[in-house]
């Protein structure tokens, strides 16, 4: 969560309001739990912060839950008002 700075999928501009869900990128299996594969269970490289809607969309395939705004297209000098 610290690495992702409380952002949905770690994306700037998509700060999560409320609960933050941790989604395992590589799914955790029953065998992983039985064999206590803590590296897979607790590794930050196998986890990403997501909002509730994003988590639901990932697991249940409902794209209507995802945010729909398009990323801002950057142009040279677009943050420099005197150019």
Report yes or no: 46 and 24 within 8 Å, Cβ to Cβ.
yes
- With tokens 């690495």, the residue in question is 3
Domain residue ranges of the chain, discontinuous segments joined by +: 8-65
32 close to 38: Cβ distance less than 8 angstroms: no
Per-residue pLDDT of the chain (83 residues; tens, 9 = 90+): 778 888 988 888 889 988 999 888 888 888 878 887 777 777 777 888 999 888 888 887 776 766 666 666 777 877 777 76
């Amino acid at each position: 969560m610290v690495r992702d700075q409380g952002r949905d999928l770690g994306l700037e501009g998509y700060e999560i309001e409320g609960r933050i869900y941790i989604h395992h990128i590589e799914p955790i299996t029953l065998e992983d739990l039985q064999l206590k594969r803590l590296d897979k269970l607790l590794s930050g490289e196998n986890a990403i912060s997501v909002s509730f809607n994003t988590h639901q969309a990932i697991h249940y395939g409902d794209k209507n839950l995802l945010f729909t705004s398009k990323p801002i297209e950057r142009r040279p000098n677009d943050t420099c008002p005197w150019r």
